[in-house]
Amino acid sequence: MNIEAISTEALRLGMPKAGSLDLKRVGKPEDPEHLLLGVWVTVQTMEGLPSRGYYYFRSDGTETFTVPFRTDQCRYAITGDRIRMTYPQRGSVEGAVRWEGDILVLPWSRGEAKFKRF
């Protein structure tokens, strides 16, 4: 990939043998001196994918590409080390919240779920 154009709100990447890919920024620029850093989303759904793709460009030189296949929303409340998550039309899940190193562990409908920042 190469950067064909970049501004605070828009990015165009040149894709070898595939043309150009237009992205728009998600949120505010992380560093006004390095406009590439931050989160970008494709302007339209990418061919063959169910939703838009997200590119995460970081200051350590790494990039992560994700395509969300599912999004769950809930309301939650935390008291001490306990969380209660209430999902529309699916009920609630309650249990302990804890960390295993840099992994967040939450109660889930079938035991626990582990999450790591990317």
Taking alpha carbons only, the member of 65, 69, 39 closest to residue 51 is 69
Query: pLDDT tens per residue, the chain (118 residues)?
Result: 899 999 999 999 998 887 888 999 999 988 989 999 999 999 887 777 778 889 999 999 999 998 888 778 899 999 999 999 999 888 899 999 999 999 999 998 888 999 987 6
Alpha carbons 66 and 46: distance in angstroms, whole number: 12
Tokens describing residue 11: 């990015």
